[in-house]
Amino acid sequence: FHKDGFLVLEQFFSAEECDDMRSQIQKIVSEMEVPPHCRTAFSTREQEQLQAQGSSDYFLTSGDKIRFFFEKGVLDEKGNFLIPKEKSVSKIGHALHAYDPVFKQITHSPKVQELGRKLGLERPVVVQSMYIFKCLLAVTPHQDATFLHTEPLGRILGFWIALEDATQENGCLWFIPGSHTNGITRRMVRAASGASTCVEFVGSEPAYDEKQFIPLPISKGGLILIHGEVVHKSELNSSESSRHAFTFHVMEAKGTTWSKENWLQPTPELPFPSLYT
């Protein structure tokens, strides 16, 4: 993990645990109610992020709620669904770990806590969680610390759980090994009040050499640990099958300052909960 910036742990969760998460998310989607004016398409492209999420209070205030973000092209101009709503969702975030019993249990499971201790985390707190459907969308190369910035760097860790087999055909993750040692050159920050968007990017993303990326296919139940500064991406899902995943981010809180400029902020209703229970 320290050398490459990521670590693959196959069969970390059981098939039953994965199926429980998928069943729970089906229930959540079936009960989903999102006002049309709050329906935003999820994007990882900078300009689209600024236009859709960046101008949306729905996104900016989702850190302590369970909210829904949609694939591109599934909504008409008025926010009405063009396809069945259960096929329209791109991701659900960002507080499943706090408010849903199934995802809370997974996030704080004894084996996750044990892994945190093996990694030397002393005061880890959970900052966000997401359920990712991966119906279509490609995710452009990025570093998680661009969006979740800390002082000092190196305090953010992602836990990415494959709820179905993730293959090159259905959009597994790709990484540049060792890229977590080069710092970050771009940050997404809250914009000054009165700006046209709620967030803006500072700095620029370098051009990455596509040949440096390696694919990380992983079986259902596998866990990928992701260093906050390692460069990673996923390609389009070109298959007929979905690629569901549950992911959450942890911060080592000891000696760490969470940036006040991050889009995601702890709230009085939901301070970042300790990973260790």
Per-residue pLDDT at 257: 98
Give the residue-averaged pLDDT of 260-265. Answer: 96
User: What is the C-alpha separation between 173 and 179, in angstroms, rounded?
Assistant: 15
For the whole model, what pTM was predicted?
A: 0.92
Per-residue pLDDT at 34: 76
In this structure, the strands spanning 245-252 and 139-142 are unpaired
End-to-end Cα spacing for the chain: 24
Mean pLDDT highest for which of 24-38, 52-66, 111-125, 195-209? 111-125
Q: Give tens-digit pLDDT for 78-98.
A: 878 888 877 788 899 999 999
Reported as a pLDDT band with limits 50, 70 and 90, residue 55 is: very low
Delimit the domains of the chain by residue range. 6-17+94-258
Percent of the chain with pLDDT over 90: 71
Q: Give tens-digit pLDDT for 4-31.
A: 999 999 999 999 999 999 999 999 999 9
Give the residue-averaged pLDDT of 163-188. Answer: 96
In this model, does residue 49 exceed pLDDT 70?
Answer: no
In this model, does residue 273 exceed pLDDT 70?
Answer: yes
Per-residue pLDDT at 276: 98
User: What is the C-alpha separation between 46 and 56, in angstroms, rounded?
Assistant: 15
- Judge residue 106's burial from the number of C-beta atoms within 10 Å of its C-beta, 0-12 exposed, 13-18 middle, 19 or more buried: buried
Q: Give tens-digit pLDDT for 58-80.
A: 788 899 999 988 877 877 888 78
Give the list of residues 6+ apart from residue 234 with CB closer than 8 angstroms, or none.
134, 138, 139, 171, 172, 173, 174
Where do we find the tokens 């909960």? 273
Mean pLDDT highest for which of 44-48, 59-63, 139-143? 139-143
Per-residue pLDDT at 165: 97
In this model, does residue 54 exceed pLDDT 50?
Answer: no
In this structure, the strands spanning 173-175 and 214-216 are antiparallel
Label each residue of the chain as H, E or C: CCCCCEEEECCCCCHHHHHHHHHHHHHHHHCCCCCHHHCCECCCCHHHHHHCCCCCHHHHCCCCCEEEEECCCCECCCCCECCCHHHCEEEEEECHHHHCHHHHHHHCCHHHHHHHHHCCCCCEEEEEEEEECCCCCCEEEECHHHCCCEECCCCEEEEEEECCCECCCCCCEEECCCHHHCCCCEEEEECCCCCCCCEEEEECCCCCCHHHCEEECECCCCEEEEECCCCEEECCCCCCCCCCEEEEEEEECCCCEECCCCCCCCCCCCCCCECCC
Per-residue pLDDT at 32: 87
Per-residue pLDDT at 63: 95
Tell me which fold the domain 6-17+94-258 belongs to.
Answer: Jelly Rolls (2.60.120)
Higher model confidence: residue 42 or residue 143? 143
Instruction: Tell me the residue type at 210.
Output: E
